[in-house]
Each structure stands twice: as C-alpha cells, then as structure tokens.
Chain A
C-alpha cells in the first residue's frame, strides 16, 4: 500500500551528535526510568535513551495490576528474608539472590515513590470498602494471599506517565526513538571499562555518541529466539516487539558475564502462535486469580488446598493452608513446592475422571461483588495491554461479567499447549551476572530489571532499577569521562549503516525466521553436543555470510534489522551456555540427551574473551548472608529512609 512512498522524516544519516553524562541509562522501561530517577536525585547528570517513548514504553508501559514481593509494606506478615528464602528455595537456588533480596527489601519503597510521583496505589475512592482484601486504614488492596499481604493490587496504568513526569521534573535528558547499538570501552579494548555507548535515531538516522562515567543496561530479556511469525511479529512474545535483548547482545560483545543463559522454557505466551493474548481468554491464574472456573455444563470446578482438601468458598482460595505461613503465587510461580503451594483448581486428569466436560469457562457471575470487580475492571484493566484490547474491547462487544462466562483454552493460564521445541526466555530467564552493586564484571557497566539474570516482574524491575541508579551515581561521582577510541567508533558506525547501503539483500524477517528455525532444530527441549555444535556452526554462517548482505530501506527498518542482528548474537550466546553445561539441570529446565547423570553444577557464568567463550563456576549461595551484605553496602539509603 505504501510501496515507494517517501520516508516521512528528514535524513540525518550524515550527522553525529556527541553527548556527555555522568550516568547513561539504556532503556526507558520501568527499570530504566527508576534508575534515571535515582541517579538524578543524587545530583548526577543523567541521559536516558529509549527506542520508544517513555510515557508508555517497555513491558509495563500500559500498566500493571499487581506488585509482588512488597514485603515491607505496613500490612505484610512476611519479612523480606522469609520471602527471599522462599523464592530461592522454590527454584532450588537457581535464582538471583541479590536482585530478589533488593526486590523484597525495597519494592514497597518504590511504590511509595511512585505514589508521590502521582501513581495510584491505594483505593482512595473507597471503591472496595469492606472487601476481604482491603486494609481499611491504609486503603491498600492485596492479591493472592490475603493473610500474608505481601502482593498489592495497584492501578498501574497511572505508573509510567508518573515516571515520565518525574524524569522531566528532575531534568533528566530523555532521548526517545534512539536505539543504542554498542557499548564503548576504554581504549576500545574488549573487557575493559565501559565509557559510554553509540546509537542512532530510528526516524532520522542521526548517529549519537554518548560518553558517560557509568552506564546502566535496563533493556529487556531476549525474545524471538525460537518463536517467529512474519505475519504477526508483534504478537510473537509476551513483551513488546522491540524488547528483544539488545543489552544482552551488546554486553556479550564487550565481554560481560552472563548467568543462566542455558535456561529456556517451553513457550507459554505467543499469541501469533498457539496461545491467546494474555489475560483475554478465560483462566484462573495471575491477573485472573481467584476466578471461578466452570465446565461446559456450568458445573463448578473445585479449588483444593495443597493437601487436596476441597475448599468450601471463594474466600478460602486466598488463605494459606492450616499450618502454612504463606503461599507463593503470581506471575512466575507456576506450581510452587509443597511448602509454598497455594490453592489451585483440581488438575485436568482428575477432572476428566470426575466427568467434567470441556471446554471450561471463567465464571465471575457468582463471585462476591468485590472479587468480581477486582478481577474485571481492576486487574483486567490495570494490567498492561488489558485496558484497551481486553477490558474495553469486550465491554464494548457486550460482555457483562455478571451474566457472561469466557471460554478457556487448554487447561492452564497460558491458554495453550506449545511444542517442546517452541521455547522462550520466560519464568526468570538468564541475563547479566551482577555483584552486590548490580555492577557487571565490566567496570562502570551496571544492569537492572530484565537485563539481570533471573528477573521476574514489575516490582523487581523498579527496585533493581532504583538500586542500580543509586550505586551507578556513586560510582560516577568518583570517576572522570574517558575519550572514546576512534577506531572502535568508526567500526561501529560502519556496521550500523551498512544495511542502508545494501539496496538488495536479506530483510529482518527472513533472518529472524532462519535463526528461530535453527534454534528449534538444534537447541530444542533436549540438547545434545553434536546438535548444539551444528547449530552454532549454522549461526556462525549467518553471522559471516548473511549479515553482511542484509538490507534496510529506512531507519525504522534498520532498527528492526539491527535488533535481529542482536537476536543472532543472543542465540549464539545461548548455544555457548548450553554447550558448557554438560549435565541435566532440572531447575533450569535444561536437559541433555548425552547427560552423564551426575549432579547438576551450580551457576556456570560465561563470557566471551574476544576469541572464545570462557566459563567459571559460581556457587548458588554466592551472595552470602543477604541481609548483612545488603545492609553493609546500603547504610546511606537506610539512614536516608530513617530521616524520611
């Protein structure tokens, strides 16, 4: 339709702008915004770069319905240490002990921050007055475990606009529609200090050089590594189209360390493929918990406690079992261990035996009014990408939650069954290895949110973002700016613009699909040395023989293509991570056909030294006593809070 239409923006491909900052933040989602806010509040000159537009960008741009792990909120009956221990234990220790302690310890502080910026975290209009899940004094609303009260229901559509206003108020320079393409290192050397980044404007093509004393990677987890659809690339994954793990690729190229990159799970969300858009189909998980499910004849499906006792009413779906302190439930908890297992509906096999008929439906009609309104209107509505495409769309189509029921697909909340080789980085996937300051092994390079290994939700992103911002600010205050290496810069400029000079060549979709097919065939559910090596060889062929012949016709397409170049780097990194882990490791959902049956190794942290991949073993408890180690490094923050 628009074939041959002139590109609407002026070309600035021959222009370069050089900017300087104390702290440079790459990515304007939740973590990036909070990082920039923290650094700016500490008097640092901050630049935040985002491919999108900060007001609604990132995975949480259009909202969030619940905030997990706010263990220090005034109504919580769980300590940060208890909750942290449960999160580690539930993953057999294959989890990020530092970032999740920060989440448990500071998540509530960030909610208060966001409230001050203008976000809504309380039921100030008394819409839910008298509800079982409301604290009447603070007007806070809770989700899942109404006794433990560490997860809050919030009005997350208000959050990103509030952060965008705060960035403006603090004088943060926000560069929107700019894709960061590489990290610059001291003297251009692999593995040396990070001294800034390069980027280009995705509408005009202008080149940016950003010099900084500290750089925070707040980009997403990788995506579209196994899953691709040329017709619906925007629906391939759970997170937004442009969130494909640019930071992972850029970090790998300069020698940053990564942890848990061998972990992938059978796909859970791909609305271009087998699943329905998240939260749209009937289900009783996450946003929809504790919805009633019924079968095709209207017969209610029982909820049971962890011992299989049938629960008598809706209320009891939200309380721990007898003798249980609290249960884990939320975005990333599929089925917790017995100790932390909450109420669930009976499993499908059992239901089949008992004569329940498919399809099932989510049925809010007979639920107590507060519970119905909490699911339909608060949770579905405030959760990202639900307000318009689910809540408003179905309401406009005549859906009435007091009369109608919504069909479920599959037996779980993912609303579909994927094939074993259809995989994605979901459920606390791999990412940058971090120390107690959330700094990587590259001096001056910090990571936050989904860029970190074993990341999960909104609260984790906000808490680690702010924490990284604080520590990057302190780091920057003791450093000076470095001159960039002219050779490193020119090489990158050449790499970035090369596809615009290729009038014909492979487009981004063709390359992305080739990578995904390779990963499905050579790096599916069951890994094997020979197949992994053959996969690596094939990816190397794409890198050497195909990438130089890729083509883009405008800066937008160039962005999409350079993203796919990054996906290729990430796929290569994943294969390297799979090659170094020789044994099965069930907590990482990692299985080798040629596994020798020995016990799984701990963390295998990998980096590229410029020529080859090197690996080191790191004990699962590398963070030590988290409370002690946190407090030792954050006395200023603790004192600041005490002063108020």
Chain B
C-alpha cells in the first residue's frame, strides 16, 4: 500500500510516443500550468492542473498531436441519437 495524491481532474494527457519535448505547449499556456521536464525530450509536467482553464491552446500549438485535453467527468455532457428519443416516445 502507498500514499497517493487524489486529483480532482487531470486535464492533459501526453502521448509519450508522439511528444518531442519541444515545450511549445508550455509556452502557449497563458496560465503557465506546466513546467519543463527534467529529462530533455520528455513532455512537460502539469504542475498546476487545477488552474487549467481548458482553453486548448496547448493542443492547438502541439506540432505532433501528442496532447489530449479532457474536461473533468462532472463536465462531460450527454448526447444521444435523435432516433432513440423518437423511438422512446413512440414506444
């Protein structure tokens, strides 16, 4: 058993195979939530994930498509096939 920090959200996920460690994402972030990795060529560390505004500037700047941004679970909206609604009403 170990002690672990419980995070309310992890806004950014880096694909380490795609990331070239250029830190352009870090430089594009107006809130400065990332710091450079200690290992050259590796993704930056998301040091202040709670401060993320979820604007997506980091993803827009990434030259290799290595970053995915995801809102916390509570903010993921529901969507449905329209036909499922009409089917429900007909049933």
Segment touching B, from A275-283, A441-449, A469-477, A514-522: A275-283
CB distance from A176 to the nearest CB of B (A): 9
Cα–Cα distance between A53 and B31 once the two chains are bound (Å)? 9
Cβ–Cβ contact B69 & A393, under 8 A: yes
CB distance from B30 to the nearest CB of A (A): 3
Cβ–Cβ contact B31 & A52, under 8 A: yes
With A296-B85, A387-B60 in contact, is A277–B79 under 8 Å at CB?
no
- Chain A residues lying within 8 Å of B53, measured Cβ to Cβ, are 234-235, 240-241, 385
- Chain B residues lying within 8 Å of A281, measured Cβ to Cβ, are 77
- Chain B residues lying within 8 Å of A242, measured Cβ to Cβ, are 30-31
- Chain A residues lying within 8 Å of B80, measured Cβ to Cβ, are 361, 404-405, 407
* B 42-79 contacts with A by CB, 8 A: 45, 47-48, 50-57, 59-61, 69-72, 75, 77-79
The verdict on B20 contacting chain A, using a C-beta distance below 8 Å, is no
The verdict on B17 contacting chain A, using a C-beta distance below 8 Å, is no
- Chain B residues lying within 8 Å of A277, measured Cβ to Cβ, are 54, 71, 75
- Chain B residues lying within 8 Å of A424, measured Cβ to Cβ, are none
- Chain B residues lying within 8 Å of A338, measured Cβ to Cβ, are none
Cα–Cα distance between A2 and B32 once the two chains are bound (Å)? 16
With A294-B85, A393-B69 in contact, is A52–B32 under 8 Å at CB?
yes
List the B residue with the shortest CB-CB distance to A203: B32
- Chain B residues lying within 8 Å of A202, measured Cβ to Cβ, are 32
CB distance from A235 to the nearest CB of B (A): 7
Cβ–Cβ contact B85 & A404, under 8 A: no
Cα–Cα distance between A52 and B31 once the two chains are bound (Å)? 6
Q: Annotate A164-207 by CB proximity to B: 1 below 8 A, 0 otherwise.
A: 00000000000001000000000000000000000000110000
Cβ–Cβ contact B78 & A556, under 8 A: no
* A 327-374 contacts with B by CB, 8 A: 361, 363, 365
Query: Which size bracket describes the interface of B in this complex?
Result: 35 or more
Cα–Cα distance between A299 and B80 once the two chains are bound (Å)? 15
With A277-B71, A393-B70 in contact, is A404–B56 under 8 Å at CB?
no
- A53 contacts which of B29, B47, B59 (Cβ < 8 Å)? B29
Q: Annotate B8-32 by CB proximity to A: 1 below 8 A, 0 otherwise.
A: 1100000000000000000111111
- A384 contacts which of B28, B29, B55, B88 (Cβ < 8 Å)? B55
CB distance from A304 to the nearest CB of B (A): 23
Query: Which size bracket describes the interface of A in this complex?
Result: 35 or more
The verdict on A403 contacting chain B, using a C-beta distance below 8 Å, is yes
Cβ–Cβ contact B75 & A280, under 8 A: yes
Cα–Cα distance between A298 and B59 once the two chains are bound (Å)? 35
The verdict on A232 contacting chain B, using a C-beta distance below 8 Å, is yes
Cβ–Cβ contact B56 & A388, under 8 A: yes
Residues of A within 8 A of B (CB): 1-2, 8, 50-53, 55-58, 61-62, 157, 177, 202-203, 230-235, 240-242, 271, 276-277, 280-282, 294, 296-299, 361, 363, 365, 384-385, 387-389, 392-394, 399, 403-407, 556, 560
**Which 4 interchain pairs have the tightest Cβ spacing?**
A388-B56, A52-B30, A297-B89, A231-B8
